[in-house]
Structure 1
Amino acid sequence: MSQLLSLAMPSNARTRSLVTSRGDFAVVDMASDSSTHPVGTVVMVPGFMGSKEDFLPMLLPLGRAGYRAVAIDGRGQHETGGFHPPTAYAREELARDLVAVVDALDAGPVHLLGHSYGALLARVAVLQTQGDTSLWRSMTLMNFGPAQVSELQRDRLNLLISVLDTMTLEDIWPYLDIQDTAPSDDVRDFMRSRWVANDPNHVKAAAEHLLTELDSTATLATLKLPKAIVSGSPDLTWDPDGVTSMAQSLSAKLVTMPGGGHSPNIHCPEETTAALVAFWETISTY
């Protein structure tokens, strides 16, 4: 879960429901500051226990650089909420949701940015569509490794899964240590409310995906789609050496963010955005 510091939203951003062929998805949609056509559209996918609000700090610098930014709540997550059977949360189904979001935006190929678990889903979507350049302009994986999470995180996820059948998300909240580090009451209240709004089947499925993800780096490397890897540190979720090795195998742009922790989108948004904009500018324009 990203540790939010603020819920401030730019004046030209709005929360809305995006109607797609696979249902409605809650999004934060921010127009670019450009008076003409935006130079590109960025679709941002949050991580485990997160939400679209995890990308709020990146919106202003993205807008200044001329990009439209759309951050989403995935199926069963925060304001997209609702209850679905476990089969609805298969990796392939959630990847199809991302394709439906891009189709509904009708903005041409997008820069796909996934954070942590969101990067896992982004990778599945790109592989599932074989890097379709009518959908994807580029793909960025932020603080995500080649396969399952570290042993420490596996222990935590297994513990969470073991109590989901006997405890509600409200019951579990007091045991999530992140709550005590929120900088203000409004942020703390928001983090609690978004946690309890999740579908427990979504939480369980996401945890299982993080425990069982296989290394698909070799297959991903065969796709010509431009790729970037953002690695904030320190981060105990994936081995940094494995992240670096993955970036090399993918011939991806590696962006290191010391001090960014697991969430450089939160802790160094200006620097992270500037590095990604520089990467995107190396890609031919629309």
Structure 2
Amino acid sequence: MSKPRSLVLPPRTRVRRLETARGPFAVLDAEPAGERRGTVLLLPGYTGSKEDFLALLEPLGEAGYRAVAVDGRGQNDTPGPRGRAAYRRRALALDAVAQAAALGDGPVHLLGHSFGGLVARATVALAPDAFRSLTLLSSGVGRVSRPQRVRVRALRTALALLPKDRVWRAMCRLDGRGEEPDTVDVPEVADFLRRRWARTRIAQLRGAGRLLLDRRDGTEELVALPAPLHFAYGTDEMVWSTADLAAAAARTGAHHTVIAGAGHSPNVSHPRELADRLVGFWERTAAPAGVSTAP
């Protein structure tokens, strides 16, 4: 999971409910420092939440972008039903389409982190005219790595058999192996992670895990998307194979960003460098044909 290093709200950021045609969603809505150059909708990953993007909101705002990070249905502060059908790929994609529409900014940039990337891919396929671009952040095609498949299967099984607080304690014992810097020594962050886990629906955790274990490749789906595509990940990515991500970027002709020294959550560990790379991609997509922009 992504672990925010701080829970302090960046300047010009509101915690609010986004009312959509598919119900309310909890969001962090960050306005730009000056003239708005665009809007980006940010979808979090497995066991994550909108707070995973806290460090990214300020640099995006400084660059002129409104950034809206959302808790998906059943995640953290957004309510969600208990039924399995509510967490299928199409249902989650329809939610994201509704969220983009509710922002009222016309076509927006879409970024999905990890599991959020799987939702984002399906979202753009469903409503391509609603999105100016798609960024898959630490998210890819094909299956997640074998160690991650083992972890996801174990978590799904544990959630079906054990009390949720006991599963959390087991996760804490196993966590911190190659992902993000440990934040459990920061009391407010450790408290938040515990509360987030308690508030996230078991049906959401099991449903998202099921999608992460899907065997489909998805590259052809990405090739067919009309929206400009961007793969971004760290050199130390460990959920998806970096070789597979590079190959997918080449096969799809996507913009390709690799952040040196970053693990699975560059949004936490390298937010300013990631923001610079995102803005460069968005500027490139907005440039008229035949006009080059700085990388």
Paired-residue identity, %: 41
- 1:54-96 Cα shifts (integer Å, max 9, x gaps): 0010111101100000000000000003433111111000000
Contact map agreement 1:218 1:249 (CA 8 A) in 2: no
User: Structure 1 124/283 Cα, relative in aligned 2: closer, same or farther at 3 Å?
Assistant: same
Instruction: For 1:203 and 1:80, locate their aligned partners in 2 and report how far apart those are by CA, in whole Å.
Output: 13
**Where do 1:131-146 residues align within 5 Å?**
131-132=128-129, 135-146=130-141
* Map of 1:93 onto structure 2: 91
**Deviation at 1:3?**
2.3
Mark the runs of 5 or more structure 2 residues left unpaired by the alignment: 289-295
* Map of 2:46 onto structure 1: 48
Select the residue among 241, 248, 273 that pairs with 1:271: 273
Instruction: For 1:189 and 1:266, locate their aligned partners in 2 and report how far apart those are by CA, in whole Å.
Output: 18
Q: Which moves more between the two structures, 67-76 or 245-254?
A: 245-254
**Deviation at 1:285?**
6.7
Contact map agreement 1:45 1:52 (CA 8 A) in 2: yes
User: Structure 1 6/190 Cα, relative in aligned 2: closer, same or farther at 3 Å?
Assistant: same
* Map of 2:244 onto structure 1: 242
Instruction: For 2:285 and 2:214, locate their aligned partners in 1 and report how far apart those are by CA, in whole Å.
Output: 33
Asked if residue 205 in structure 1 is aligned to residue 203 in structure 2, the reply is no
* Map of 1:258 onto structure 2: 260
* Map of 1:165 onto structure 2: 160
* Map of 1:70 onto structure 2: 68
Structure 2 residue matching 1:224: 3-state secondary structure:
coil
Report the RMSD for the aligned CA atoms in angstroms: 1.6
**Counterpart of 1:60 in structure 2: which amino acid?**
E
- 1:208-228 Cα shifts (integer Å, max 9, x gaps): 100015112113212231111
Contact map agreement 1:138 1:226 (CA 8 A) in 2: yes
Structure 1 residue matching 2:205: 3-state secondary structure:
helix
Mark the runs of 5 or more structure 1 residues left unpaired by the alignment: none
* Map of 2:292 onto structure 1: none
* Map of 1:187 onto structure 2: 189
**Counterpart of 1:192 in structure 2: which amino acid?**
R
* Map of 2:14 onto structure 1: 14
**Counterpart of 2:182 in structure 1: which amino acid?**
T
* Map of 1:113 onto structure 2: 111
**Counterpart of 2:21 in structure 1: which amino acid?**
S
Instruction: For 2:283 and 2:237, locate their aligned partners in 1 and report how far apart those are by CA, in whole Å.
Output: 28
Structure 2 residue matching 1:164: 3-state secondary structure:
helix
Instruction: For 1:55 and 1:2, locate their aligned partners in 2 and report how far apart those are by CA, in whole Å.
Output: 9
**Counterpart of 1:212 in structure 2: which amino acid?**
D
Contact map agreement 2:232 2:257 (CA 8 A) in 1: yes
Instruction: For 2:223 and 2:134, locate their aligned partners in 1 and report how far apart those are by CA, in whole Å.
Output: 12
Asked if residue 153 in structure 1 is aligned to residue 153 in structure 2, the reply is no
TM-score by length of structure 2 reads 0.92
User: Structure 1 213/196 Cα, relative in aligned 2: closer, same or farther at 3 Å?
Assistant: farther
**Deviation at 1:8?**
1.8
Q: How many residues align?
A: 281
Contact map agreement 2:11 2:58 (CA 8 A) in 1: no
TM-score by length of structure 1 reads 0.95
**Counterpart of 1:186 in structure 2: which amino acid?**
E
Select the residue among 198, 202, 206 that pairs with 1:196: 198
